[in-house]
Amino acid sequence: MTFAGREEQFVFLTHERNPGLVGGAFRDMPAVVYTAPVIATLVLIYLFRHLHPGSWVQAMSYGMIIGGAVGNLVDRFRLGSVTDFIQVHFYFIPFDFPWKRYPAFNIADSAICIGVALLIISWHRMERQREKESLNASDSA
């Protein structure tokens, strides 16, 4: 992939076929590439039953994660790889690091990452709320 003319663009569109997992990991291990996402999706479907019934944030988070995972699975089984098309280049950072030109990704990857972040924040807030409620209950008793 050539980046001529894009040296000082932060985000740009590209076209890459990713036969591996995140950032192309395990590209030479097709058994891992096909089974890991299926197992992860099955675990997410199982965990979906444990959502807090009143939390629309958790429901939305799971929807984003499952939607992204299924979208990538469909591409992987249909095409043998996932199409990544968003590239980020941290050209403005004055020192080199391994992912200064971040691996290409797609909307499904973004949905998974945002969903996981929202889910973690939601769980953290719910835990803090439970702690406050248990403190209030012990104070009033």
Positions marked active-site: 84, 109
Nearest Cα neighbor of 112 from 63, 57, 60, 65 is 65
End-to-end CA separation in angstroms for the chain: 67
Closest alpha carbon to 21 in 6, 13, 5, 32? 32
Nearest to 110 by CA among 62, 43, 65: 65
3-state secondary structure 12-72: EEEEEEECCCHHHCCCCCHHHHHHHHHHHHHHHHHHHCCCCCCCHHHHHHHHHHHHHHHHH
